[in-house]
């Protein structure tokens, strides 16, 4: 059953407008009385029926609330060094499929895209669109938070709220996620830090350690940044979450 994000739900009614309404009407060719799933993006999902529809607006009646939970029991923040546009977009999509709670791009010493305020506004809008599309595709009920890129130092300064902080570094020779799981059972809020295409500098790793990050390895081979991020999310979901 197709799923749609409806951020404003009033009692037992909801309205879908814009591109989603056109998709329902002209692509899916649904009709009055047909059912679909909707979510408010805050963790709640409902079965809804179509009361009326046009390419510009679909009016819905809500029925039962879905009890099945598609959200991970842990809250992963994925902080990744800024990558080029397409790589960043694909990584965002895949990480949402893997159940991240928050997406936090960071500027590192070796980040290729430099800070550009005008470009960031357009990229942020694009990321938010991708997040909505990914939520619908993988049937999630909570829309991950997509954040404005910040300097790595700012991330460090605001990292005390996490139960577990892991930085993955290609030059780290020891340290495995399994050992962290044994030392830190029952965690909920986890921060995963992945470097940009050029990797972290030694100074950045030293600062990460000073702020309580465990420095981890993903094995003997050098991984691309997006491969490392997906591998790390998968490992953490397997150890602590629902994979």
- Same domain, residue pair 202 and 234: yes
pLDDT digits (tens, 9 = 90+) for 83-125: 998 999 999 999 999 999 999 999 999 987 667 778 899 999 9
d(CA 24, CA 2): 9
Find the mean pLDDT for residues 57-63.
95
Find the mean pLDDT for residues 1-29.
90
| Residue 153 belongs to some domain of the structure | yes
CA within 13 Å, CB half, 162: 25
Domain count, the chain: 2
- Same domain, residue pair 52 and 81: no
- Same domain, residue pair 232 and 140: yes
Amino acid 176: pLDDT: 58
Name every residue whose Cβ is closer than 8 Å to that of residue 49 and which is 6 or more positions away in sequence.
33, 34, 35, 60, 61, 63
- Same domain, residue pair 57 and 79: no
d(CA 149, CA 171): 25
Residue with tokens 């994979």: 243
Amino acid 179: pLDDT: 53
pLDDT higher than threshold 60 for residue 182: no
User: What domain range includes position 16?
Assistant: 3-65
Amino acid 112: pLDDT: 78
- Same domain, residue pair 30 and 96: no
pLDDT digits (tens, 9 = 90+) for 77-89: 999 999 998 999 9
pLDDT digits (tens, 9 = 90+) for 208-232: 999 999 999 999 899 999 999 999 9
| CA 41 remoteness from chain centre | 13
Q: What is the mean pLDDT of the chain?
A: 92
């Amino acid at each position: 059953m197709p799923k749609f994000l409806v951020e404003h739900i009033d009692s037992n009614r909801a309205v879908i407008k814009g591109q989603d309404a056109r998709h329902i009407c002209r692509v899916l060719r649904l009709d009055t009385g047909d059912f679909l799933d909707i979510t408010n993006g805050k963790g709640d999902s409902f079965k809804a029926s179509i009361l009326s529809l046009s390419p510009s607006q679909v009016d819905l009646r809500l029925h039962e609330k879905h009890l099945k939970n598609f959200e991970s029991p842990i809250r992963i923040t994925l902080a990744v060094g800024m990558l080029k546009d397409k790589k960043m977009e694909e990584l965002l999509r895949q990480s949402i499929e893997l159940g991240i709670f928050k997406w936090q791009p960071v500027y590192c010493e070796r980040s290729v895209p430099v800070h550009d305020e005008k470009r960031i506004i357009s990229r942020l809008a694009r990321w938010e669109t991708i997040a909505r599309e990914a939520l619908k595709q993988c049937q999630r009920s909570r829309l991950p938070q997509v954040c404005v890129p910040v300097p790595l130092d700012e991330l460090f300064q605001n990292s005390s709220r996490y139960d577990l902080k892991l930085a993955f570094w290609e030059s780290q020779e020891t340290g495995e996620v399994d050992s962290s799981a044994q030392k830190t059972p029952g965690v909920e809020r986890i921060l995963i830090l992945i470097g940009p295409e050029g990797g972290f500098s030694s100074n950045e790793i030293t600062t990460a350690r000073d702020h309580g990050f465990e420095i981890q390895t993903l094995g003997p081979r050098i991984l691309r940044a997006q491969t490392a991020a997906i591998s790390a999310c998968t490992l953490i979901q397997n150890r602590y979450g629902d994979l």
